[in-house]
Structure 1
Amino acid sequence: MRLVLAVAAAAVICTTALAQTNTNSGSGIENPAISITPKGGPENTGTIAPGANSFTEGQARSRIEAQGFANVSDLRKDGQGIWHGKAQRNGQDVEVMLDYRGNVASK
């Protein structure tokens, strides 16, 4: 009886391990011209993702500035909940984005 239970338990463990999938399936923005600066946090993957964004314009500006950007302007939220705007970093003009998780990207 113990042998049967041990074999059954091993089968369940092996099946569970084989059923796992790669959750990094390439979703999000994949463009080498975009530099991603993740905010941090357990659910934060570092990619810009659409979602219900509750950041106000002022909060979006503050989060972008906290990532080292200056002169943040022309902020607007698109239909996917991603804030877009203009800013400067290291003396260069860049486009910035902020998603609902607080991730900031520039290009």
Structure 2
Amino acid sequence: MKTTLTIAAAGILALSGAALAQNAPLKPGATNPPPGTSYSGTGSPALPPSTTGTPRAGAIDSQNQTAGLASARAQIESAGFTDVKGLSQQSDGTWRGRAVKNGVEVAVVLDPAGRVMVQ
């Protein structure tokens, strides 16, 4: 009888140890970075260059684009608008975005000739 209890107790201990081993804590930090990214463990993942030639979302590809955006924002602000946001250049050369004038947010368009219009 004692032998049976000893064997049963040993079996229960062995099974409970295996069950505890399955619940190991995860390592801190990113374990599965998004596809197309690398993670260096510093908290600032660096995106590799595009393999398809398309820009990343929100990326500005050249200094000309940055200068154009700053120029468009300045022209819209000089026309009396504030809080200019969401500017994007269209294929026809116009800039479209949103801005506030007289306390009202409106859609604005800056044409290639430099005229600011409300839509």
Query: TM class, shorter-chain normalised?
Result: 0.3 to 0.5
Normalising by the residue count of structure 1, what TM-score does the alignment of the two structures yield? 0.48
Greater strand fraction, Structure 1 or Structure 2: 1
Normalising by the residue count of structure 2, what TM-score does the alignment of the two structures yield? 0.43
Greater helix fraction, Structure 1 or Structure 2: 2
Pick 1 or 2: higher relative contact order, CA cutoff 8 A, min separation 6: 1
